[in-house]
Chain A
């Protein structure tokens, strides 16, 4: 059973729909205790980094314990950003801190007409073999909608460039994250979600 973590920001409908289509069994737990029994955890995300404050200490502890016990964790969009130490978007809000670094505002490029927010389909520059992106060739397009992004570090398995490169997908042991929306990225996105579910 996958635990889909709802922290009240935006809507989970499209992630639920994709999990249904992939035949995954999932629940949206009301209490952090459920994390201990979950086969995998998904932290979705839309909206502002500060919304993650709804995941108070009991949730942080439960998610950290599950990750330490080896449970696969996937963060999507703001859910991925939350895996880092923090974000420029809400400097007073701490991230979970399982990955090093801070998320920063993309700068765009006025001369090249690269706007921020970065909205639309952009290509994955896959850096090497990894489990999350198995069967997803480099150059595949996925759907992004965000203004802040994580830096390219050694946890990064695919980067994307919008004026500057940023972390599009990360993978370290049982911790995974995607800045894009796999649930909105057609076949490539569904493949990535299925890869994660197969690890759970």
Chain B
């Protein structure tokens, strides 16, 4: 039976792992290769490296970090942040990324999804969506969830579910869905948002934003219909080990790789 994936995300700046609350106040959390080694031993299913400052500071994905992680970890590795053009994706893939994650660039130029899917296959193309619940004054959107860009600072004036469907039709292989409302809060994943998107597409949806306790993961796999769940700080600071989380999920009847 296909298992639910647990994915560790490393937000990287200047070659170091950082993690902020709601994309602000970045704190230092360690060396990427060292963290990746620990996660691999603990049984993580996949690793995502996000260059968190790339979009704002117009920097390319950190080639050195990718190589250092990819050299010894034989797990799927995704790189995101600053993938704006085909060349950026090629540089990430050449450094050892199996998948690239597109965010702002995909909204600005949806054709890039198709270009990369043709070159590397859909399995290598993730579209990351940063979504937020609409306030009463927000732009009318079908699902009640809007898309935000530029590390969550700008409203893209798109509906999150509608954009996920378009991304799939253009060749995306997975959706990485982050709740901006929950990111860094440890208040739990936004299960309504996740289910709305997951039920609307046939490609896997990775839920992100808000992981704080073991039960949050069980919730997002059951109520949220997530195919995978991603977390950062909960794993970095060793509050929760991946191994403990998987034992808990298995005891809850959720299929995981142990």
- Report the nearest B residue to A114, measured CB to CB: B2
A120 to B71, CA, bound (A): 21
Distance from A89 Cβ to chain B, minimum over Cβ atoms (Å):
12
Q: Which parts of B204-258 form the interface with A (CB within 8 Å)?
A: 204, 225, 227-228, 257
Q: In the assembled complex, which residues on chain B have CB atoms less than 8 Å from the CB atom of A146?
A: 123
- Nearest A residue to B44 by beta-carbon distance? A186
Given A10-B124, A115-B204, A116-B202, are A186 and B2 neighbors across the interface (CB < 8 Å)? no
Q: Which residues of B contact A183 (CB under 8 A)?
A: 74
Contacts of B173 in A (CB 8 A): 117, 119, 145
Nearest chain-A residue to B95 (Cβ)? A13
B227, A120: Cβ atoms under 8 Å? Answer: yes
Q: What's the nearest-Cβ distance from chain A to residue B255, in Å? A: 9
B1 touches A141 (CB 8 A): no
Contacts A10-B124, A47-B121, A184-B74; is A121 near B3 (CB within 8 Å)? yes
A55 at the binding interface (Cβ < 8 Å): no
Scoring A residues 68 to 82 as 1 if CB is less than 8 Å from chain B, else 0, what string do you get? 000000000000000
B163 within 8 A of A: no
Closest to B71 in A: A17
Note all chain B residues with C-beta closer than 8 A to A46.
120-121, 123-124
When distances are taken between beta carbons in the complex, the residues of chain B under 8 Å from A13 are 70, 93-96
Q: Could you tell me which residues of chain A, from 103 to 144, have a CB within 8 Å of some CB in chain B?
A: 108, 113-123, 141, 143
Instruction: Check A48/B121 contact, CB under 8 A, given A14-B98, A185-B74.
Output: yes
Interface size class of A (residues with CB under 8 A): 35 or more
Cross-chain pairs A/B with CB under 8 angstroms, 24 sampled: A10-B120, A11-B93, A13-B93, A13-B95, A13-B96, A17-B70, A46-B120, A46-B123, A117-B122, A117-B173, A117-B204, A119-B204, A119-B227, A120-B45, A120-B204, A121-B5, A121-B45, A141-B3, A141-B257, A143-B75, A145-B76, A181-B76, A184-B98, A186-B40
Given contacts A117-B204, A119-B204, 15 further A-B contacts (CB under 8 A): A9-B121, A10-B120, A10-B124, A14-B70, A47-B121, A47-B123, A117-B122, A120-B5, A120-B227, A121-B45, A123-B1, A162-B2, A185-B74, A186-B40, A186-B75
Taking Cβ atoms with an 8 Å cutoff, the residues of B that contact A are 1-5, 40, 45, 70-72, 74-76, 93-96, 98, 119-124, 173-174, 202-204, 225, 227-228, 257
